[in-house]
Amino acid sequence: MATEVLDFEAQARTGTGKGAARQARRENLVPGIVYGGGQDPLPINIPFNKLIKALKNGRFLSQLWNLKVEGQEDVRVVCRAVQRDVVKDLPTHVDFLRLRRTSRVNLFIHVDFINEDAAPGIKKGGVLTVVRADVELNVLAGDIPEKLTVDLTGRQIGDVIHISDIELPEGTSPVITGRDFVIANISAPAGLVASDDEGEE
């Protein structure tokens, strides 16, 4: 099942160049451009408040968006750059890349943990410590997984879950290569750790 693709609304920008960009900013809009996908570049304006909200939510540059521009067909895009004012650190221009279904892109995919009640380590008071709640994967734009699933059935205190323990969808691979990084672990409860430390002393 594909991940939910969020809508991102913008307006077509009629003028180009510095004059049109300055005019957009005066109207509380942030100019941008949509390019790639075998089509002509499309100048756009983005409402400043909507852009700021999206940026504050995090991972704006690794999220797949369904770009909606009046008079244009919806298109899947990823943000490739956000230029900022060097003094105020506010966005001044945004670049979006159009994607075809066969395009490959790096996106953060959420990790879902299931069957905690079937994990003996958690039943004994162990704590699930999530190291990576999201994993950056290289995926096909037309086949993005909704989530990664970790089954905790049978997991004991001290167990460590690595990326290699997760069955990745076909055609999907981690962006970080060359090491089997940790996703989560089941650690001993704080009281047990403290008593063990006292015993050693």
Do residues 39 and 94 both lie within one domain? yes
> Looking at the 3D structure of the chain, how many domains does it have?
2
Residue 173 in domain: yes
Flag whether pLDDT at 171 surpasses 80: yes
Do residues 82 and 35 both lie within one domain? yes
**What confidence score (pLDDT) does residue 31 get?**
93
Which of 81, 98, 115 is the endpoint of a domain? 98
Cα 18 from Cα 20, distance rounded (Å): 6
The pTM (predicted TM-score) of the whole model is 0.67
Question: What mean pLDDT is reported for the chain?
Answer: 86
Place of tokens 């704590």: 127
CATH number at residue 30: 2.40.240.10
Domain membership of residue 87 as a residue range: 6-98
Flag whether pLDDT at 2 surpasses 60: no
Put residue 23 in one of left, alpha, beta given phi > 0 → left and psi -120 to 50 → alpha. Answer: alpha
Average confidence (pLDDT) over 82-103: 89
Average confidence (pLDDT) over 18-39: 86
* Phi, psi for 50 (deg, rounded to 5): -65, -40
Average confidence (pLDDT) over 76-82: 90
Flag whether pLDDT at 201 surpasses 60: no
Flag whether pLDDT at 179 surpasses 50: yes
The Cα-based distances of 50 to 62, 107, 126, 130, 160 in angstroms read 17, 21, 42, 31, 40
Instruction: For residue 3, name the pLDDT band (cuts at 50, 70, 90).
Output: low
Where do the DSSP E strands lie in 29-176?
A: 29-35, 42-47, 64-69, 75-84, 91-98, 104-114, 127-130, 134-140, 148-151, 160-162, 173-174
Do residues 126 and 51 both lie within one domain? no
Flag whether pLDDT at 197 surpasses 60: no
Is the sign of the CA dihedral 137, 139, 144, 145 positive or negative?
negative
Place of tokens 């790639």: 36
Between 153 and 146, residue with greater pLDDT = 153
Q: Return the amino acid letter for 114.
A: I
Worst-scoring range by mean pLDDT, 15-29, 78-92, 163-177? 15-29
Flag whether pLDDT at 51 surpasses 70: yes
Q: Return the amino acid letter for 79.
A: C
Flag whether pLDDT at 116 surpasses 70: yes
Give the tokens for residue 35: 């390019």
